[in-house]
Amino acid sequence: MTTLLPLVSNTTQEVKITPLNAPLGAVVTGLDASKAIAPETILRLKQAHRNYHILIFKNQKLTDEQLKDFAYYFGDLFVPLDETPVLASKTGVTPVVIPVANIEGGYTGTGELTFHADHHWTPYPSSGSFLYAEEVTTKGGETAWLNLNLAYESLDDVTKERIRDLQLITYNPFVRTPDSPRRLYRNDTSTPLVAPVFAHPLVRTHPESGLKVLSLGYATEVSVVGLEPEEGSALIAQLREHLNQPKFYYEHRWAVGDIVYWDNQSTLHRRTAFDPSERRVLKRISLAGSRPF
Ligand code: OGA
Ligand code: MN
């Protein structure tokens, strides 16, 4: 049984939302995520999330159950389909709170993770994810988030026009034939597909804000529907080079008690590698999304 709505709640006046001096992001202080939150505060947070793409909540202390209750203020949970596995997928019983940690039972190890959006290869990718930091490193393991709306808007007009109606397939990195090489672009059809694939607009419209985003990860294997491999791979390489510019992203140095809630529809995220002798324990929850358009 879940315990819902503890008696003590937050005072609305104390909650401050301060935009970062960065291409995206705002910091939320004066809020205790383990307690009930006033309706007007929830609405302010939702609005800020739409405007700033990521919210950073400071100084939290939560059980897994409380983290889940907090996340539910913003939507329903992401549940992967068995045929489109994601991080921590287990048939029928994927955990809701996923330990992103270099300890036993944890996921993602200690290596670098390049810019990606969670669940992009599924039919209905998640709308957003939360990471809550319980233990952090002294250096390394920084997470950066990249503003895909800015990345789109700063493309030149010719490129915008060229990519306007293109559909992109992102191949599932969790389903791989053992000896197939890691590729940035699938330019042959000789390797059989081992999981269903889904094409989504390369230029996506954010379902709430209506903003256009360049919906492309940095290194996941992709292909563009209807383009010859040579043309498609050259285009994707050009877009990826454009994406990977510091002017589009903010890098976060974690402190214990931080929760970052990001929009998976308008951002990418990446992580720098860290020393395996340090412990890094984060907890992740992802929210359900909708069919991209
Ligand atoms: C994730 C992820 C980044 C990190 O959990 O989806 O990409 O900083 N984690 O560990
Ligand atoms: Mn991720």
pLDDT 10s digits, 175-215 = 776 666 778 999 876 666 777 899 999 999 999 999 999 99
Q: Which protein residue's CA is at the shortest distance from atom 4 of ligand 1? A: 271
The CATH number that domain 148-243 falls under is: 3.60.130.10
Query: Could you give the CA distance from residue 218 to residue 276 in angstroms, rounded to a whole number?
Result: 25
Query: Could you give the CA distance from residue 99 to residue 223 in angstroms, rounded to a whole number?
Result: 31
> What is residue 98's DSSP assignment?
E
Q: What is the mean pLDDT of residues 57-73?
A: 97
pLDDT for position 174 = 79
First to last CA, the chain: 37
Residues 292 and 204: beta-carbon distance below 8 Å: yes
What's the gap in Å between 131 CA and the centre of ligand 2? 9
What residues are paired with 286 via a beta bridge?
A: 129
What's the gap in Å between 93 CA and the centre of ligand 2? 20
Q: What is the mean pLDDT of residues 117-146?
A: 97
What's the gap in Å between 91 CA and the centre of ligand 1? 22
Domain 13-147+251-287 listed as CATH 3.40.50.1370: no
Residues 283 and 100: beta-carbon distance below 8 Å: yes
Residue 143 pLDDT class (50, 70, 90 cuts): very high
Residues 175 and 195: beta-carbon distance below 8 Å: yes
pLDDT above 90 for 5:
no
Residue with tokens 């006046």: 13
What's the gap in Å between 269 CA and the centre of ligand 2? 6
Ligand 1 atom nearest 282 alpha carbon: 10
- At 248, is the secondary structure helix, strand, or coil? helix
Q: What is the mean pLDDT of residues 234-250?
A: 97
pLDDT for position 9 = 74
pLDDT for position 6 = 55
Residues 139 and 156: beta-carbon distance below 8 Å: no
Question: Where does ligand 1 bind, in terms of residues with CB under 6 Å?
Answer: 100, 108, 113, 118, 129, 131, 143, 269, 271, 282, 284
Q: Where in the chain is the domain with CATH 3.60.130.10?
A: 13-147+251-287, 148-243
Q: Give pTM, 2 decimals.
A: 0.93
Ligand 1 atom nearest 87 alpha carbon: 6
| Ligand 1 pocket mutation pick from 94, 102, 107, 113 by most atoms within 8 angstroms of CB | 113
Sign of CA dihedral 255, 256, 259, 264: positive
